[in-house]
Amino acid sequence: MNFPPPMPPPAPPAAPPARPLLVEGTPDPTPSRALWIVKWLLLIPHYIVLFVLWVAVVPVSVIAFFAILVNGRYPRGLFDFTVGVLRWNWRVTYYGYGVLATDRYPPFTLGEAPDYPARLRVAYPEHLSRGLVLVKWWLLAIPHYLVLAAFSGAGVYSAHASSGWRSPGLMGAVVLIVVFALLFTGRYPRGLFHLLMGLNRWSLRVSAYVLLLTDVYPPFRLDQGPMEPEL
């Protein structure tokens, strides 16, 4: 009697990517000397929309929390929405007073805009830990909250702290130096751009972690420069 061949063992679950979040920025070669004076006014429509979007992220994150707790998955539609808000936030930060590295007005879209100088992508996780979801957004992230609060000069760090308005702190001081450099020389010091990219990249990694988009713990590392460093 011929028996069917044994079934192969199920494939192990794929390991999460070492770098689930990619944050990139291409600075303008010839930035305006004075546009920064009115960017706050030009960005008012974005600030209004982002306020509404971040309010919507709260119930979305609550639903995602219970979905992960039950089946270990972040519902794909909700995941794409949250990533879209984070991506929109990054474009506004990059144009506005978080980096001031481009004079191109940010698009009003949750989707990707590959031709825009600021880009953000988050790899969708096929599986998330049911246990980590209980502690990573508050307990495990506390050391990062303390570091980022010092960066921003704020008493409390939040996931949308980089939306454009900043309290005095390291980031605010660096941006102020950039403002004077643009005003008097018309040039953006590359070292300061790299530093601001590193600070914002750190902040966005923490945001992705506490928003439950990934289980990869953010590194305590200031990865500077316009592109993600090589692994």
pLDDT tens for the chain, 231 residues: list them: 555 555 555 545 555 567 899 999 999 999 999 999 999 999 999 999 999 999 999 999 999 999 999 999 999 999 999 999 999 999 999 999 999 999 999 999 999 999 999 999 999 999 999 999 999 999 999 999 999 988 887 554 556 554 444 456 889 999 999 999 999 999 999 999 999 999 999 999 999 999 999 999 999 999 999 999 876
Angle at 201 between CA 208 and CA 49, to 5 degrees: 60
The token duo for 177 is 């130096």
**CA 105 – CA 116 distance, rounded (Å):** 9
**CA 90 – CA 107 distance, rounded (Å):** 11
- CA nearest to 89, candidates 55, 144, 58, 49: 49
**CA 171 – CA 87 distance, rounded (Å):** 20
Which residues, 6+ apart, have CB-to-CB distance to 209 below 8 Å?
136, 137, 141, 144, 216, 217, 218
